[in-house]
Amino acid sequence: MARAQIELSNEVATELAGPGDAIMKTLEVALDADVFLRGNVLTLDGAEQEVAMGRTVISEITDLVRQGHDIAPGTIEAITGALEQHESPSRILEDVVWRHRNLKVAPKTVNQKRYVDAIRENTVTVGIGPAGTGKSFLAVAMAVAALSRREVSRLVLTRPAVEAGERLGFLPGDLMAKVDPYLRPLFDALYDMLEPEKVNQHLERGVIEVAPLAFMRGRSINDAFIILDEAQNTSPEQMKMFLTRLGFNSKVVVTGDVTQVDLPTDQRSGLKVIGDILEGIEDIEFIRFGGEDVVRHKLVQRIVAAYDRYAQSKNA
């Protein structure tokens, strides 16, 4: 057993002593050590390796607080996850993609950082992984940021309407009302990142366009940031059709989870096929997320892990 006592500044001690001891509890779990805070002195008790890691984590937290970061349970997980992969935590957490009022969108895991870097550097980025890994939310943040910097003139959001078999005519209302149930997650992200009035204004003017995937056929989309969400529910033919809509000065992000395919069992998913066909092609990047990248409620990580174990046992 080893012990370390670290004297903290008032600012760092205040951040760690957050509401309900949530940060301290997260720190204890992440380090697999006993952690105590008395006044401005933090005590770490545990294996020598865990205590050494704790010193490094506290040093990173101190640097982030000095730079004006708020510390939350997710920050601890981001720091420990980055250190385990020999990455700089501050390099990840300081990469702010978008700010709006009290919202600050930045990567929280190493893979999320690689994802936003891939979107910046490539024309086509494919994000594959389970629910809660930030694929769609970060893509929308990058799209809104690109629009605000006038790098593109419009956003195009699309998603396969599998549940209605792409036949939306029987649903009430105009096109917006018909596609709303399918694109609601993207709408929610937009309303998080922009004023509702601004979103509605962009929709009315066509600066933001939403459409079911079937409406993409025959088009060539220039000067746009295009997001295809829930891409696991595309057929290989639909995926090819979508990717060939790419026009000049446009950027494409494809997101999906290959474990949640809603297609008929005899139909292959376009998202599963795309890696075999396009992996290694210049200007196309694939980012694969795992359970460690889930940044929703901790229980979501456990659910994802349980389903992964179940799938592996069935395939064994």
CATH number, domain of 9, equals: 3.30.1370.10
Q: Same domain for 107 and 84?
A: no
Mean pLDDT of 11-35: 84
Report how far residue 156's alpha carbon sits from residue 59's, in angstroms, rounded to the nearest whole number. 42
Q: Same domain for 148 and 26?
A: no
Could you say which of 47, 63, 93 is where a domain stops? 93
**Across 72-76, 89-93, 147-151, 285-289, least confident range:** 72-76
Domain that holds residue 42: 2-93
> How confident is residue 179, by pLDDT bands cut at 50, 70 and 90?
low
Could you say which of 50, 70, 93 is where a domain stops? 93
Residue 61 has pLDDT above 60, yes or no: yes
**Residue 231: per-residue pLDDT:** 94
Report how far residue 170's alpha carbon sits from residue 173's, in angstroms, rounded to the nearest whole number. 9
pLDDT in tens, 93-132: 778 899 888 888 888 888 898 999 999 999 999 999 988 8
> Going by C-beta distance under 8 Å and a sequence separation of 6 or more, which residues neighbour residue 281?
none
pLDDT in tens, 190-202: 999 999 999 999 9
Q: What percent of the chain shows pLDDT beyond 90?
A: 44
Q: What domain count does the chain have?
A: 2
Q: Same domain for 133 and 180?
A: yes
CA distances from 184 to 29, 177, 190, 230 (A): 35, 11, 10, 12
Could you say which of 78, 93, 108 is where a domain stops? 93
pLDDT in tens, 5-21: 999 999 889 888 877 77
**Entry pTM:** 0.76
β-partners of residue 159 are 212
pLDDT in tens, 213-256: 888 888 889 999 999 999 999 999 999 999 999 999 999 999 99
**Across 6-15, 177-186, 263-272, 299-308, least confident range:** 177-186
